[in-house]
Amino acid sequence: MQGMLLSTNLNQGVNNEYDRLAVEGQIFQDLNFDAGVRWYVQGDDGIPSVLYEWSPVFPEYSGDFPATINRKDGLILTFNESTLINADSVFVAIAAGNKLIVKRYSAHAGVVSISRDELAYIQACSLQNPGYLQISASVINLFWISSGKAGVGVKQTTDIRTVVIK
């Protein structure tokens, strides 16, 4: 089998997985993400070939990030075509200390609320020792391999901000 990414050889792993590993802080100039991505893996020994193409457009969250979350008031966020671009879903994570809340919503959910009962689970934190609010806009792209079976690619853009939780 042979794996290629925009005519750039991928590294073949021990279980016939293919990847191109990055070093932290480096971006491969030859991967050409700005022009989109084209993955091709040539099949062999009963494994079908795969061709996957995607646009350079990634999902994006452009809504508000509160600097403070008041647990007794709950948290209200809006997810719609104005706040989520090129997304079909969004993940929200709130973390403080060793506690974590993760929620998933449709990109068209509208006004959503994380209740004060749910937020009571998260400990209070300060500006000096903050918590974190993460919002990850995601889109799932379905593609077909030559045998007619489906494959899935996920694009996700994650924003993480510090937050004071009262």
pLDDT by residue for the chain (166 residues), tens only, comes to 444 444 555 667 776 666 666 555 555 555 556 667 676 667 677 767 777 676 767 899 999 999 999 999 999 999 999 999 999 999 999 999 899 999 999 999 999 999 999 999 999 999 999 999 999 999 987 776 666 677 777 888 899 999 999 9
| Whether 133 and 64 share a structural domain | yes
Examine the domain organization and report whether 22 and 93 are in the same domain. Answer: no
86 and 125 belong to one structural domain: yes
Residue where a domain stops, chosen among 39, 54, 69: 54
Full DSSP string of 12-67: E-TTS-EE-PPPTT---GGG-GGG-EEEEEE-BTTBPPEEEEE-S---EE-S---S
Q: What is the DSSP letter of 73?
A: T
Given this model, what pLDDT does residue 6 score?
A: 46
What's the pTM? Answer: 0.70
In a shared domain, residues 19 and 69? no
Residues 141, 123, single domain; the answer is: yes
Do 50 and 68 belong together in one domain?
no
Measured in degrees and rounded to the nearest 5, phi and psi for residue 35 equal: -100, 5
Which amino acid, 76? I
d(CA 4, CA 14): 17
75 and 49, same structural domain? no
Look up the CATH number of the domain holding residue 128.
2.60.40
> Do 68 and 41 share a structural domain?
no
Contact of 133 with 66, CB cutoff 8 Å: yes
Domain of 35, in residue numbers: 2-54
Q: Verify that 102 and 153 share a domain, yes or no.
A: yes
Same domain, 20 and 79: no
Question: DSSP 3-state assignment of 119?
Answer: helix
pLDDT value at position 150?
73
Radius of gyration of the chain (CA): 20
Query: Do 85 and 150 sit in the same domain of this protein?
Result: yes
Number of structural domains (the chain) is 2
76 and 45 fall within a common domain: no
